[in-house]
Amino acid sequence: MTAEISIPHLNLNDYVHGNAEQKKKFSDAIGKAYNETGFVTVSNHGMTKKLTDELYAEVKKFFDLPEESKLKYERAKPARQRGYIGKGIEIAKGAKTHDLKEFWQSGQVVTDNDPVKDEYPNNIQVAEFPRFNTVTQEVYQRLEEAGKHLLRAIAVYLKLPENYFDDKVHNGNSILRAIHYFPLESTENLPADAVRAGAHEDINLITLLIGASADGLELLTRDGKWFPVKAGADDIVVNVGDMLQRLTNNKLRSTTHRVVNPPNELMKMARYSVPFFLHPKTSMDLTCLDSCIDSNHPKAYPDTTAGEYLNERLLEIGLKTV
């Protein structure tokens, strides 16, 4: 059953280049949305249609490679944070059946002398399609920049210094993930609960999702109903992740979402999407903000760091082994 809700649309230019009134309105709007639905759609985010089209063309070319070619780029240890992750690997927290997808992950490239560089594995380069490597890196940088501005607006809403998140996400452990939800001949031989992406919450601070190639994304509303999310062709969808929820002691809520299987007539069509998971450095303290704790909202989470929490969640979803 689906619900009818309104997902706010915001123009990032209103915050980045707007006057004081426009910036406040943007900040108030994103805070209100993250209290209510956990999702907004955003325009003027730095991605062009040309770059988006080229990204999806390169992503499709990679996933069209033979299985043995893709498996050359699989790196299982210490965690599957770079390169190719094959079918049947990731599973939503608490689920019994693995997601019906395969994906590629690119991470941070540290270009200054930040010692955090030693924490990150190198990105893996696709030999068959050099442009794939260039395009994914450019998209990573553009979405990271947009994410920094969005976090500044969120900081203002939380009555924190506007630059509160800046040093925490500079050279952060963010991930660009290109996902292929492969075609299905039928669901007859699959477990009854097999879906493209099981119901889950994202791990990170915020997620920026470039419009997918097909419908299927749904969010769980506060009253327990599923609602299909459809962004405009040039918009990105931005949602709260669990790290931001923890930091704000549930003031900003990480929304449960999923990707459902297509109707039978579209079963044999692939679906592609490219989310950017904006993470801070692993050293960031996720202890609940004092300003978000009161007698009506007691502290809900034990103290932890972003790195400790990420490690815990990667183990839960099958992307890391002990």
Q: What is the pLDDT of residues 221-239, one digit of tens each?
A: 878 889 888 766 688 999 9
Mean pLDDT of 150-171: 97
Q: What is the pLDDT of residues 184-199, one digit of tens each?
A: 877 677 777 888 888 8
Contact, 142 vs 46, CB < 8 A?
Answer: yes
Of 137, 130, 132, 140, residue with least CA distance to 60: 132
Contact, 200 vs 93, CB < 8 A?
Answer: yes
In whole angstroms, give the CA distance from residue 160 to residue 132.
Answer: 38
What is the second-level CATH architecture of the domain 9-316? Sandwich (2.60)
- Judge if the upstream peptide bond of residue 280 is cis by omega within 30 degrees of 0: no
Which structure tokens are listed for 237? 């969808």
Edge to edge, the sheet with strand 9-11 lists: 9-11, 39-43, 236-240, 206-210, 271-278, 175-181, 102-107, 83-85
Looking up tokens 């991930």 gives 175
In whole angstroms, give the CA distance from residue 111 to residue 277.
Answer: 20
Backbone angles phi, psi at 103, to 5 degrees: -155, 170
Choose the weakest-confidence range: 101-105, 163-167, 268-272, 273-277: 268-272
Q: What is the pLDDT of residues 73-101, one digit of tens each?
A: 998 766 678 999 999 888 888 888 888 99
* Predicted confidence band of residue 322 (pLDDT cuts 50, 70, 90): low
pLDDT at position 2 over 50 = no
In whole angstroms, give the CA distance from residue 60 to residue 67.
Answer: 14
H or E element, residue 206: strand 206-210
pLDDT at position 292 over 80 = yes
Mean pLDDT of 207-217: 81
According to DSSP, the residues that pair with 226 across neighbouring strands are 2, 220
Say if pTM beats, i.e. exceeds, 0.85.
Answer: yes
Cα angle: 262, vertex 267, 273; to 5 degrees? 60
Which structure tokens are listed for 42? 């955003």
Tell me the residue type at 121.
Answer: P
Contact, 99 vs 92, CB < 8 A?
Answer: yes
Of 101, 78, 92, 79, residue with least CA distance to 202: 92
In whole angstroms, give the CA distance from residue 251 to residue 297.
Answer: 9
| Coarse DSSP helix, strand, coil percentages of the chain, rounded to the nearest 5 percent | 30, 20, 50
In whole angstroms, give the CA distance from residue 271 to residue 198.
Answer: 15
In whole angstroms, give the CA distance from residue 72 to residue 74.
Answer: 6
Helix (H, G, I), strand (E, B) or coil at 85: strand
In whole angstroms, give the CA distance from residue 85 to residue 261.
Answer: 20
- The gap from C-alpha 40 to its chain's centroid, in whole angstroms, comes to 13
